[in-house]
Structure 1
Amino acid sequence: MPTTVVRFNLVDPAATPASLSERYRAALEMATYADDRGISTVQTEEHHGAANNWLPSPFAFAGAVFGATRRITVTVSAIIGPLHDPLRAAEDIAVLDLLSGGRLVTVAGIGYRPEEYERAGVDFTRRGKLQDELVETLLQAWTGEPFTFRGRTVRVTPRPLSRPHPLLLVGGSSKAAARRAARFGLPFFPSAHLPELAAYYTEQLAAHGTEGWTMMPAAETPLLHIADDPDRTWAEHGEHFLHEARTYASWQADGAVRSAVKSAATTVAELRAEGVYRVLTPEECVTYAKGDIGSLILHPLVGGMPVDEGWRSLHHFCENVLPRLKDRQ
């Protein structure tokens, strides 16, 4: 059976503090419901200063999910590594690993928005070196032993539960990211289906004498919404899918970023034809899941989607799709 994922970035361009609070609480209720029904993973991410209220604090959200669930994994895909204080990140991840019993997966990327670096007072041109420092510090810190950090001896406690350390992947779409993952002996998480980059990573593992593996999106990794009437859903709610697609497009305008969810659509009709976002009936979703796919990614609150519509999609998936997938195992 494919890996099942529920994605949350808590975007709402028209939010008030009260409505955003409702959205956050709904996301936690959805995570609990997904956990009870056997969905594998909650996926979340990090962006800062976005006008549409994109989630800026994925570790805080992950902690809330862990407190409300028992089994489900939370994958933070991805943190913007150079914007994090390395010692504090090591502590936060260790605490979440202990709290969750080892259910946190962290993908460390470097981001692609210079304005986020400017907002944080971090030099965008040093992001590679800062990412190296972050990864090295995390791995040293989680041993629980003293080590040298910026010229002084430090020690990070408590040690995490997971051995040898909490699951940490290096994300990106560049050869530099692949080399970094291989050099540190960490798994590689390409941001899109990039088999040539995965092959380069394998070469670099051999060159550095390290071991690792690749977690790469499939050639098609659409974000799914489940509905009885897809035509009606596109007509009534297509603007929410388009809002997220256009936001990503505005951040990736230079063409240098390769992403599994990159879209060139400018209208709802174009977006629907593209297939990056798909609205499927339960039957269509079951048929789609029979193909050669790695995961089913549900995005119930996409782009400010009304909470009740998000619940309809999640209920359909858990009650009318997931049991039929389990029956085929």
Structure 2
Amino acid sequence: MGFGVLFTQGLVTGPPHQTLQEILAQAEAADRLGFDAALTTEHKYSDEYFGSPVPLSFAIAARTQRVRVGTAIAISPLYNPVELAQDVATLDQLSGGRAWLGVGAGYLPVDYTTVGVPWEERATRFDESARILRSAWTEERFSFRGEVYAFDDVSVIPRPLQDGGVPLHLAAWSPGGLRRAGRLGDGWITNALMSLDTMRGMADTYRAAAREAGRTPHVTSIRFCWPSHDRERAEAEFGATALAMARTLFDYGAITDLPGVTSADQITLAEFVRDRFVFGTPEECAQTIRRFTDEVGVDDFLLVFRYPTGPSHESVLAAMELFAAEVAPAVAAAPVA
């Protein structure tokens, strides 16, 4: 099992230059502390997210030595797939074979209108992009003709350093998307706020599709995370910012499994701590992680320590240190269920 760090900070955290420098410092800390990845994400039109995850991944690669670098996720229908394949192959070469690409179709129409891509084409573009990326990284030259994209006798230069190309993981929440992840991806990425029960059902659908396609399933779960020896202090540092993020994502339409909740102001921290957040003392965090591994079969976790409105950079570094020193070892020491 691996633990990576996922960066979600955007413009509302502070001046962009300062925020980006803090992301790079947190990536360096992840590298030093033994985390397995330092990944980026995006929306194209949002104060909460930066919109250029691949360029940011290049900067992270230049400042680190061992962590995986890349995205979780890039909204692949918004990119020319051959250019995306080239950029990520270059990232793989630059980083010494550490690139990792997570892609998704997105869920906000404004991401599409911002760059002039038709919202109604998202599923087709997502499917075709995944197939093109795979061909671009594994074939010397390839041609493709689909409903949206057409390429004749093209080659991606440079090719990725990793044999077989860059690992390609697909985010999905719908039955069709889960089957696509099983058919085309090296793994499935959950969203950050689905409950344990929701994740279990989706994982079953994804794994069945992966096995039918002859692929080995791999589940990567994104989780908000905040360990602390002092629960009251944890709630003070983490509670308001994480709850604000949960409510924002509910308004975006990214949380659909809260029965009876009709407005964001009805969401409580207690509900999310129960089976969505990794929160509390190191042992409580380890217990939550074990639940997701034992009951869902999660293979890897991408942890979000900082949100668009906080906590502070210094608090995030301290939380990462505590996770690496006490939570990860406690999970590793637990007997296999």
Q: 2:272 aligns with which of 252, 271, 274?
A: 274
Counterpart CA distance in 2 for 1:272 and 1:243 is 14
Does 1:238 pair with 2:239? yes
2:147 paired residue number: none
Counterpart CA distance in 1 for 2:131 and 2:223 is 34
2:39 paired residue number: 43
Counterpart CA distance in 1 for 2:314 and 2:29 is 14
Counterpart CA distance in 2 for 1:198 and 1:288 is 17
CA apart distance, 1:87:
1.2
Question: Residue 266 of structure 1 aligns to a residue in which SS?
Answer: helix
Does 1:129 pair with 2:128? no
Counterpart CA distance in 1 for 2:199 and 2:283 is 30
1:302 paired residue number: 307
Q: Unaligned stretches of 5+ in structure 2?
A: 145-149
Question: Residue 123 of structure 2 aligns to a residue in which SS?
Answer: helix
CA deviations 1:117-156 (Å, max 9, x no partner) are 1111111111122122212221222235233352543222
Counterpart CA distance in 2 for 1:14 and 1:310 is 13
Question: Residue 50 of structure 1 aligns to a residue in which SS?
Answer: coil
CA deviations 1:259-292 (Å, max 9, x no partner) are 9xx9976278x12443133542345445555656
**When the two structures are aligned, how many residues end up with a matched partner?**
315
CA apart distance, 1:157:
0.9
2:2 paired residue number: 3
State the TM-score, normalized to the length of structure 1: 0.82
Question: Residue 216 of structure 2 aligns to a residue in which SS?
Answer: coil
Aligned AA (1:8): F
Counterpart CA distance in 2 for 1:182 and 1:318 is 31
| Cα pair 2:13 2:19 within 8 Å, conserved | no
2:168 paired residue number: 168
CA deviations 1:193-216 (Å, max 9, x no partner) are 544444444554566xx3213333
Question: Residue 304 of structure 1 aligns to a residue in which SS?
Answer: coil
CA distance 1:14–1:90, shift in 2 (3 Å): closer
CA distance 1:182–1:280, shift in 2 (3 Å): closer
CA deviations 1:29-82 (Å, max 9, x no partner) are 222222122112223212111023x12111112211211111111352111111
CA apart distance, 1:93:
0.9
Report sequence identity in percent: 26
Q: Unaligned stretches of 5+ in structure 1?
A: none
Counterpart CA distance in 2 for 1:3 and 1:278 is 15
CA apart distance, 1:8:
0.9
CA deviations 1:196-251 (Å, max 9, x no partner) are 444444554566xx321333357xx7421123422134235532112211221111
Aligned AA (2:104): G
Question: Residue 302 of structure 1 aligns to a residue in which SS?
Answer: coil
Moved over 6 A (4+): none
1:318 paired residue number: 324
RMSD: 3.2
1:111 paired residue number: 106
CA apart distance, 1:95:
0.6
Counterpart CA distance in 2 for 1:254 and 1:328 is 31
CA distance 1:12–1:271, shift in 2 (3 Å): farther
CA apart distance, 1:166:
0.9
Please give the residue correspondences for 1:57-206 in structure 2 after superposition, counting only pairs within 5 Å: 57-74=52-69, 76-143=71-138, 145-149=140-144, 150=150, 152-184=152-184, 186-191=186-191, 193-204=198-209
State the TM-score, normalized to the length of structure 2: 0.80
CA distance 1:317–1:185, shift in 2 (3 Å): closer
